Amino acid sequence: MLAVTVTRSPSFFRSILDWDESLYFLMAEQWRAGHLPYTVIWDNKPVGIYAIFAAFQVLFGDRIAAMRIAAVAAISVTAYVVRRIALIITQDRGAGMFAGVAYIICSLSNDGLAANTEPFMAAFTAAAVLVALLDGPAVRIAVLAGLLAGCAFMVKYVAIFEDPAILTLILLRHRRAQAPVLTLAVLAGAAVPLGLTAWLYWQAGKLPLWWDASIVSNFRRAQKTITQSALAAAAQLEMLRWGSLFAGGLVVLGAAVPILKRLARLGRDEQNHLFLALWLLGGCCGVVAAKSFFDHYFLQLLPVLCVAAAWVMHRLPRPRPVWLGALFALAVLALPALAAGTAWRDALGPVLSFSDGWPKLHADVPAQIAADIRPALAASPGAAIYVFDDQPIIYSLTHEAPPTRFAFPSILTTSFLANVAGVDAVAEVARILASRPLFIIRRPQPPIGTNPLNPAVYAEMNSALAMNYRLWRNYPGSEVYRLNK
């Protein structure tokens, strides 16, 4: 935990590292205020991530530090569990320690500094794998592993692609006659988090809302097609960041092929090896399933990639000289370390520079905007703000409720996400503007993303600003407009 805290320290300077974490933070705040997720703010994620954020807000308050501490806890737990998994699979303490250290270093890149869903999902999935690898009563192991896998599923649904590997591992390690019972035990454990969620919304009379927002909308989102250019760009970027890890994964997959020819008589080492290959394939399916290839999607693969690299390390010539192990670690972690350094630079760049050889802190722009507009909001009871295409964390920093369920800007500014959410974006923006929010925060230039912007929405906003608002203040990358008196 100390190592994770130190290596993730650049994130503590920032109120925003990724758009998604701001939405989860807002959802958690509203849940603590008595509003179930999806009722006053829309999103399509499972409720698990909001529950985690809410728990850390209870412990550490409504401050950004709460989600940074949550991320530190998730990465720390996963690094420890990954070390244990590698140790069990390889029976090699050096390889186990390498896997844990590799996870800490590699988790800094691919948007890993942000409190995205993937690190929390990975913590539960890795814990389920560790339980499945332990010796003990088979049914108890199956139920607990299923429960942990179910928690991962309720943090992000793509965790389901790794579950067949976990079930296979449990079945391989126990008597074939127990297979039906163990399968039911895993499914029963996995069903608990989902069942509790459905019961919660049924009790509140909001079951149809939960079903549409959290389940059906994801099928609408899955209709997006994979473009060759997006796939090629993601592959190129990942090779530059984690190429050495993926090479280790390919070695594991290649070495697993002969095992498939003798499934009926596998030893413990062969069972573990086959599981590792299935786990890696399942994780790859989870990454591809979203069809968007955002950087943080690849964090789902990190636990199994680190264990795979440890497996390769274990197979170096034995007895393994210290210098050979160090050389292997250096070769595997060189690219991830460079990527981690880039992530550090990007995180500190907006808030830290050097003048005359001395570090100088700059204002966090969303935090500065919030601090500047709070006095005017306090002097105008009932006034509201609207974050049009800027950072939604500003709502939390000003303690203002969003004027729309669709607080995540790209839901209204892009046609694709508006269709996923099932909202008429132009009509919703017109409704918000008709309420005459005191401040509107937007970017000087529309943000560039993977989904095309909706020009009609921007035309509606530009017209309203020209008629009823004046530019109040400029910030780096942001503009704040104030309602004319």
The domain spans of the chain are 2-348, 365-483
Distances (CA, A) of 173 to 84, 187, 189: 18, 17, 18
483 φ, ψ to 5°?
-65, 135
C-alpha to C-alpha distance for 16 and 411, rounded to whole angstroms: 18
The dihedral built from the CA positions of residue 65, 45, 141 and 284, taken in this order, carries a sign that is negative
Alpha helices in 174-226 (DSSP H): 179-203, 207-210, 217-221
| Helix-then-strand count for the chain, H and E | 21, 6
pLDDT at 473: 95
pLDDT at 309: 96
CB 40 within 8 A of CB 23: no
With a cut of 50, which residues of the chain have pLDDT below it?
none
∠ CA 274-280-281, nearest 5°, is: 90
pLDDT at 317: 87
C-alpha to C-alpha distance for 193 and 123, rounded to whole angstroms: 16
pLDDT at 276: 94
**CB neighbours of 443 closer than 8 A, spacing ≥ 6?**
389, 390, 477, 478, 479
At 477, which amino acid appears?
G
pLDDT at 353: 66
Dump pLDDT digits (tens) for 294-331.
899 999 999 999 999 999 999 998 888 889 989 999 99
pLDDT at 360: 64
pLDDT at 104: 97
Token pair 């927002």: residue = 213
Q: Nearest to residue 8, comparing CAs of 77, 105, 120?
A: 105
pLDDT at 356: 63
Concatenate the DSSP letters of all residues of 115-138 into one string. --HHHHHHHHHHHHHHHHHS-S-H
